[in-house]
Chain A
Amino acid sequence: MKVLGTDLAEVVDLALQHAYLAGVPLLLGLLVSLPLGWLALRRRWLYPPLIAGTGLLYTIPSLALFVLLPGILGTRILDPVNVIVAMTLYTIALLTRTVADGLGSVPDHVRQAATAMGYGRLRRFFGVELPLAVPVVSAGLRVAAVSNVSMVSVAALIGVSQLGLLFTDGFSRGAMGPILVGILACVLLAILFDLLILAGTRALTPWLRAVRG
């Protein structure tokens, strides 16, 4: 089926690759930022270097990072791994501060109550502190998801296959149809990611629903 001169099956295929390139880094970035954010909060002297250091990652333009990573990682320039690594770095840049802020927002008396109930450090972290930080972390994750989806499309300039190829293809052929379809598909994908994160947050924070009634 064709829409605006664009093969729909191809769009779906590109969208799946796009979702993979934007989604996997989101999970990897979250996995790295959790311990980093925790460290930044627990060891005060680590806070400035960790937060400023990860923040610096965000100053590197995506196109520049896509180009520089093959030289650093020894990968080929067209390798999707470059995009995954770059997007993971951006996710870490956005999330480390959010995780630290989220964990920092857990009130002290809650932490003390958990300790008084006999929670060890690890169990207190996973059973009390992390769940309570979920709303703040999820807000950061939503920003990261949307910006990842938009940034991945830039990788089309170096030829990595995803929705961005619709932009470069359409432009080189002087056809507006594929570009419009590509923009729409990107926005829809971003909305889908956002809804998934919202659903996950809801499932992880049943007490918030209880309060709202």
Chain B
Amino acid sequence: MIQTIWAWLSEPTNWSGPGGITAQTLEHLRLSFIALVVAALIAVPIGLYVGHTGRGKVVLVNVVSAFRAIPSLGVLLLAALLLLPRLRGELAFELPSLIVLVLLGVPPILAGVYAGIGQVDPAARDAARGMGMTGWQRLWRVEVPIALPLIFSGLRSSMLQIIATATIAAVVGLGGLGRFLIDGQANRAYDEMAGGALLVALLALVVDMLLGLLQRAVVSPGLADDERKVS
């Protein structure tokens, strides 16, 4: 199996051109990043509000777990059936996929931001209040920096799920690495399917590593979570 995948991966013609590996990888990344940014724009403010004020906790926890139960493939195909006849051009294909990816990306970010702000030591909050900080200052200068490790873990797990699920967008005719999985299956070309599968897994790993590096750069060294600190 490794040889057939390698043969497919090392064939230069598979990499070039509009349907080649390079182009599809970039397309996969483009879609995933748009979805992550939109999901973060929705989830971060809500998570900050709930974490900071403590209002709406129960609703948030339930919404997060209910969202996780919705099968992405079903929503994608439903959205495609509804939107394909109504929209024109590239948007008709992209919008259903983006809707699904954003729906999928919101819950982990919400959970991360909310849990991150929620676990800030009350003593730190009180100290900030004692120093005369306003609510806004406490949020941005104390709570958010302390919550960053958990906020990042929410963003990373959101990105992982978006990249993984962006593969199924190929079912409704969109580009990205999922093309190789879907086209390979249609043509009964196992090397193409397996090669595509390997590439998606690698892409997910590399992007997660890059986000991990970004996290290390942004999070205050005093908070950098040592993996061995369990209890």
Contact = CB atoms under 8 A, between A and B. Distances in A.
Interface string A161-184: 001101110110010100110110
A63 B167 CA distance: 8
Interface stretch (B131-139, B142-150, B223-231): B223-231
B193 A154 contact: no
Interface string B133-172: 0000000000000000000000001001001110110010
A152 B163 CA distance: 17
A190 B208 contact: no
Contact of A56 (B65, B71, B157, B205): B205
A164 B77 CA distance: 11
A171 B71 CA distance: 15
A68 B230 contact: no
Contact of B200 (A64, A154, A163): A64
A195 interface: no
Contacts, number: 141
A47 B227 contact: yes
- Chain A's interface size range is 35 or more
A182 B193 contact: no
Interface string B113-137: 0000000000000000000000000
A143 interface: yes
A134 interface: no
A16 interface: no
Interface string B154-198: 000100100111011001000000100110010000100110111
A51 B68 CA distance: 23
B81 A171 contact: yes
A59 B178 contact: no
Nearest to A166: B74
Given A59-B201, A157-B171, A47 B69 contact: no
Nearest to A176: B81
A118 interface: no
Contacts of A180: 78
- Chain A contact surface mostly: helix
Contacts of B26: none
A105 interface: yes
A156 B182 CA distance: 12
A60 B65 CA distance: 22
Given A67-B181, A68-B197, A150-B72, 4 more contacts: A64-B197, A104-B231, A143-B68, A187-B66
Interface of B: 1, 65-66, 68-75, 77-78, 80-82, 157, 160, 163-165, 167-168, 171, 178, 181-182, 185, 190, 193-194, 196-198, 200-201, 204-205, 208, 227-228, 230-231
A-B pairs, top 3 by smallest CB distance, nearest first, are A61-B164, A64-B197, A71-B1
